Structure 1
Amino acid sequence: MKLIGSFTSPYVRKVRVVMAEKKLDFSFEQENVWAPETTIQQVNPLGKIPCLVMEDGSTLFDSRVIAEYLDTVSPVCKLLPSNGRDRTEVKVWEALADGVLDAAVLVFMERRDRAPELQSAKWIERQMNKVHAGLREMSARLGDSPHCMGVPYTLADVAVGCALGWLAFRFPEIDWRGAYPNLARLFDKLSERASFRDTVPFVA
């Protein structure tokens, strides 16, 4: 399998963490989807990463789709419960974490790509409200539990850990550690795992 992505994308990181936890062999191809010479649409018509190229040449895209598929490939470190209610709860956690990222990524791109006088303060505020609301909800759901789903380590933790890691990387001004000590404890615990240590985002 070949994973196409970047070292800064939190969605790509989620897939890389899953692959590491599942102990799956794959090659990694870095792709800048914003570069004029990008070829990403040859494998993903939406022009997004991550994209997983299978052994037969077929492709999977969207981190949630890829992660769910990968969990079926190997019995090692089962990340999605088979039980319907628990499985759905893990997917809700993932949607929540990805939703925080979706809003934060939009703000990052608005600030990066538009001149200050062209940026919409109202639109940025709307997106940041989603980020803060999502963080509050994650903290409330986590409570005093060691992991998102209680005792077991699941895809919910992977998604939340990648979201928090990207916020620390791109939005250091957001003091989620001080505001939500339980999220900080979870993130520190996750950061001790080899899968997280080996996938810390950086600009190549």
Structure 2
Amino acid sequence: MKLIGSLTSPYVRKVRVVMAEKKLEYEFVVENVWAQDTSIQTHNPLGKVPCLLMDDNGSLFDSRVIVEYLDTLSPVGRLIPQPGRDRAATKCWEAIADGVLDAAVAINIETTKRPAELRSQDWIDRQHKKIAAALDSMNKSLDDQPFCMGVNFSLADIAVGCALGYLDLRFSDLNWRSQYGNLQRLDEKLQARPSFVSSLPPTQN
């Protein structure tokens, strides 16, 4: 398999962490989707990463789709529960963590890709409110549990860890640790895992 992505995309990192935890072999192909000569749309018509090229030359895109598929490839360390309430809860954790990413990436694009005279501070502030509300909700839901779903490490933790890592990468002045102690405790455990260490964006090394 080949994984097409960037070294700083948190969605790509989520897939890379899953592949490491599942002990799956793959080739990582770095792609800059903002470059004029990008070829990403050959495999994903939406022009986004991550994109997984499978051995039969088929492709999967969207991190949620990819990680669900990857979890079926190996019995090692199942990350998504079988259908039922726990599975739905795990996917909800992933959804809220991805919501943090969606808002954070939107802010980053607005402030780095859009001309200054066209930027909307009201819109940026709206995204920041989404991030704050999501962090508060996750912090309360985590409570004193060792992991998002209780005692077992799962996709929920991977999604949350990648979201928090992206906030550290792009919004170092946010200082979320001072407000969300439960998330800080979880993050310390996650960032020490080899799967997270090996997927750190270059500017965090």
| Structure 2 contact 10–162 (Cα < 8 Å) conserved | yes
One-letter amino acid matched to 2:155: L
Residue of structure 2 in register with 1:45 after alignment: 45
Task: Give a deviation string over 1:118-155, Cα, whole Å, max 9, x none.
Answer: 21011101111111111111101101111000100000
One-letter amino acid matched to 1:124: I
Segments of 4+ moved more than 6 angstroms: none
Query: 1:1-204 alignment to 2 at 5 Å?
Result: 1-202=1-202
Q: How many residue pairs align between the two structures? A: 204
1:203 CA displacement:
5.1
Task: Give a deviation string over 1:152-183, Cα, whole Å, max 9, x none.
Answer: 00000000000000100110011110000110
CA distance in 2, matches of 1:7, 1:88: 29
One-letter amino acid matched to 2:87: R
CA distance in 1, matches of 2:36, 2:203: 19
| Structure 1 contact 7–203 (Cα < 8 Å) conserved | no
Task: Give a deviation string over 1:88-116, Cα, whole Å, max 9, x none.
Answer: 00000000000010011000010001233
| Structure 1 contact 103–127 (Cα < 8 Å) conserved | yes
CA distance in 2, matches of 1:2, 1:66: 12
One-letter amino acid matched to 2:64: R
1:83 CA displacement:
4.2
Q: Provide TM-score, normalisation by structure 2.
A: 0.97
| Structure 2 contact 90–155 (Cα < 8 Å) conserved | yes
Task: Give a deviation string over 1:57-81, Cα, whole Å, max 9, x none.
Answer: 0000000000000000000011001
CA distance in 2, matches of 1:23, 1:33: 27
CA distance in 2, matches of 1:23, 1:68: 15
One-letter amino acid matched to 2:133: A
CA distance in 1, matches of 2:114, 2:45: 25
CA distance in 1, matches of 2:15, 2:59: 14
Q: Report % sequence identity.
A: 60
What is the SS of the residue equivalent to 1:97?
helix
One-letter amino acid matched to 2:41: Q
One-letter amino acid matched to 1:11: Y
**Cα root mean square deviation, aligned:** 1.1
| Structure 1 contact 3–28 (Cα < 8 Å) conserved | yes
Q: Which runs of 5+ in 2 are unaligned?
A: none
One-letter amino acid matched to 2:85: R
1:117 CA displacement:
2.8
